[in-house]
Every structure is written in structure tokens, then in C-alpha cells.
Structure 1
């Protein structure tokens, strides 16, 4: 594994890493924004791809910078990362908020995107997610530990979480108690709720796979189906379960879908 820094025009420094060999595969994480979300995925795919992951601005080891955080800006950050890594074109897989970023990247910097994996993500604002994240913002303001606890409870299937409860405990321990950390969470939630890809979705012309889980309680399955229906020629792969964080809870099935996408676009 090698690490590298990405400097953005507004002064943010993004911490990135690359591991494995083969065609480049860029993984974009969701609201949490960390490279660590993909640790298991990297381990499973580094034999067939050079896998690139990173902490998004203001998250983990990456500094915040000065520009407003929007999905478009986060897509521009990804383009800067690929330029720094001297990668002309990559297969890009984004989960949840990362899927919104990947859609924006495919529009704003289409030369960088050879294929798309859109995992647990959505196309346009909807009442379900608006209500859910309004409640989560209220929890964040009142009690960060409750915010972190309920985030984990929504993200994982109950039976899986019961046998991996250390994941819940770790989430609570890392709750965003600092005001600056809370501000980063709030601006990222505002950005994801403002994302609307309907005007540009037909311009996404690369091979695309939409991936979802039937029991996702954060970005429900009906949103995966709507996204796939709006994308010209997109494939749809629905897992029977796994919750919102199915790349972790159904890792073997998820990575097989990504392997198939890499093979089809080699």
C-alpha cells in the first residue's frame, strides 16, 4: 500500500491510499467519508485492481479547506485526486453519499469515469430521506451519542449487529461531540439532501451497475430501482438483505458484483 496527499485549490489536503495491481478502481464512501469504510472491500479486490480510497475533506486525516461543501465540490475533489494520482480513467464505485458524488463526477469530469458502480444511493430528493435526516440532525444537536447510536442501528441489519455489537460501541465512542466535527456532519447532510441528479442523468453514458439491498432503511430499495430506471442501460443488482452498509455485511456478494463490473469493462 502507498499513501499520497491531494492538494485542492482552496487549501484542503486529502489523505489517499492505493493498493493492489490492475485497472484502477476508485471507491467513494458515504456520509462518514472515510477510507476505512472500504477496508474489507480493498482486501477482497486488490488482486484484480489497483484500489484507491481516501478520506473526504474535513474527515479523518483530511483537512476541511475553505469552500462550501456540496456534492459537486466533492466530485471536483475526486477529479483532483485522480489527476494527482495520474489516473486518466477509473472504474468508480460510490456508496450512499459517495454514489451521489460518483454521479456528479460522471457528469462534471466524464473523462475520468470508465464505469460506475452506484451502491445504496439515490437520484433525487425524496420525502423519506428528508424526514430521516431531519430527525438525525435534531439528534445530533441534542445528543451526539444518540445520533451515533441510531445511525448504527439504522445502517446494519439487527441480527448482524447483535453478533457484531462492537461496531455499535465503536460508533458511539466516535460520536461527533466536538462542535467543529458536528459542523462537518451538518454540512454534509445538507449537501446530500440538496443533491438532485435528474437534469443530467441521461448524460451518464458509461457502463453502470446500481447495487442495493431490499432491507436498506437509510436509502430504501425503491430508490435503487428508480435510479436504475432513470439511467440508460444500467444494470440493477439487488441483494436480499444486508441493511444500508451491505458492502460490509454482505461483502462477498458485493465484491463479486464489483468484480463482474471490472471484468465486463476491462
Structure 2
């Protein structure tokens, strides 16, 4: 088990693959931990150095009291990369991880060679929606939002045989204060101006059945970024690395090949 103390918080991370291999950092979604990438990794090319981590307030990482911002979460990712003496990585961000990646590329551009924004956007939802969710969690806990969250995360076909059960339990077992802090970070985030100024290779990915960040929202962010590539995974919901790992990995692999990162 690996941890790094950056920005006054202990971050839990995993580091696998050859130390001198092209580095890819994965940043996961709200309410999950680094295991969300487990099914995708075997489908990636051999020889990559793969860094996964739990953002603050999630999984086995520490949470500092009080709210946090997307920029602060991006600074955490930057701090972890510098702790590992890494630069020019390919960064793959899912959902809030996509927001983190956008801020990281905009503010720590020397660390990022290419960016994958998956099931995310420069602005996700209205602030009041997030405030309503925070209020519900404070009143009734994370279990009270688990059912509707699974409907947004996964397609009906995936949920039909109960395959969403472990992911529901993962959500319910996240630290409540950390989840709320990241909800507030999303509520406050509007990166539309920042992403329009990005000048690096970007791949944007949507799930055709995503109930959290629908394709039209994701494509809207792709349209803001000069020369960004856009792809949709048919039949996938909000967490394609779980639901369609081979298809998700294939898009990421093509991007890595395009930027010479394999």
C-alpha cells in the first residue's frame, strides 16, 4: 500500500508497470476509489507505467476538514506527480476526474502530455442540484442517494442482473464528508473559459446511456477545445471502465498511440 503526503493530505495510490515506461495517471469518479479502473487496465498496452490514486476524501486517502475546489484537487494530482518525479504524463479523468484533468492541464501544463476527458464536462449540472444532493446526504446519508446514482451510472442491461451491487456498496462506504466536499467542488466548477485555451492533445469520451453527463453535455466540452477528438461508447453509462472496459480501453489506447505515448 502506497501513500504520499502532498498539499497537507495523505493520498493513497497504486503504481504499476515498468518505472521507465510512459506514464499514465488515472483519476476516478465521484463516489468511487482507484479500483474502478481494475477491469480496464488489462486491456491497455504492455509497458505503460500506470498511476492510480484516491482523491482526497475518497477510498483510503485522507480528507482535510472543510470544502475543497477542483483546482485544489488538481493541485493534489500535480503534487503526487511531482512526488513521483513524473512529468509529461497522459492523464485520464473520469467524471470529477475529468474536471481535475482539465484544471491540471490548464494550470500545470508542464506535467501533462495529453488529456482524456471521460464522461465529464467543463461544467457539470447546476449548483442548486448539488446543494440539494448535499442536503439529502447530510439528512439521510449516502445510502439515500445510492439507488438513483446507480441508475445514472449504469445502463439498464448492466443493472438487470445485479452487477451494480458492488459499486453501490463502494459508494455507500465512501467517507461522507469527503463525498460532500467533492460535490461542492463540482458545484463551484466552471472551466469553460480555461478549456477553450488548452493547446494539447485531448480525447473526449461519452457513454451513450450516461445519465450523469449525457453525450450532448460531453460533446459541448469537446467542441470548446481546439482539435479535440470525440467518441461515444454505445450502450455505456457513466462508468464505462466498469461496464465496457475493453471498448473504453481501446479509445484510450488509440489516443496514446496518436500522441506517441506507447
The two structures share one fold, judged by TM-score above 0.5: yes
Q: Once structures 1 and 2 are overlaid, which stretch shifts more, 37-46 or 84-93?
A: 37-46
Aligned residues: 257
Structural RMSD (CA):
2.1
Whether the aligned pair in 1 keeps the contact of 2:118 and 2:205 (CA below 8 Å) is yes
Q: Residue in 2 aligned with 1:161?
A: 159
Q: Deviation at 1:168?
A: 2.3
Q: Residue in 2 aligned with 1:258?
A: 252
Aligned counterpart for 1:18 among listed residues 5, 15, 33: 15
CA pair 63-28 structure 1, distance change in 2 beyond 3 A: same
**Alpha-carbon separation, structure 1, partners of 2:199 and 2:188:** 23
CA pair 174-213 structure 1, distance change in 2 beyond 3 A: closer
Whether the aligned pair in 2 keeps the contact of 1:13 and 1:65 (CA below 8 Å) is no
Given the alignment of the two structures, is residue 227 of structure 1 paired with residue 218 of structure 2, yes or no? no
Q: Secondary structure at the match of 2:40?
A: helix
**Alpha-carbon separation, structure 2, partners of 1:109 and 1:209:** 18
TM-score normalised by length of structure 1? 0.89
Gaps of 5+ in 2: none
Whether the aligned pair in 1 keeps the contact of 2:141 and 2:176 (CA below 8 Å) is no
Structural mapping, 1:85-104, within 5 Å: 85-104=84-103
Aligned counterpart for 1:147 among listed residues 128, 145, 148: 145
CA pair 118-170 structure 1, distance change in 2 beyond 3 A: closer
Structural mapping, 1:233-248, within 5 Å: 233-248=227-242
**Alpha-carbon separation, structure 1, partners of 2:224 and 2:40:** 27
Q: Residue in 2 aligned with 1:136?
A: 133
Given the alignment of the two structures, is residue 216 of structure 1 paired with residue 210 of structure 2, yes or no? yes
Structural mapping, 1:103-118, within 5 Å: 103-118=102-117
**Alpha-carbon separation, structure 2, partners of 1:99 and 1:170:** 20
Q: Once structures 1 and 2 are overlaid, which stretch shifts more, 74-83 or 43-52?
A: 43-52
Whether the aligned pair in 1 keeps the contact of 2:27 and 2:94 (CA below 8 Å) is yes
Q: Deviation at 1:30?
A: 1.2
| Higher RCO, Cα 8 Å, sep 6+ | 2
Gaps of 5+ in 1: none
**Alpha-carbon separation, structure 2, partners of 1:122 and 1:170:** 22
**Alpha-carbon separation, structure 2, partners of 1:240 and 1:23:** 29
Runs of 4+ in 1 over 4 A off after TM superposition: none
Q: Secondary structure at the match of 2:3?
A: strand
Q: Residue in 1 aligned with 2:75?
A: 76
CA pair 9-146 structure 1, distance change in 2 beyond 3 A: closer
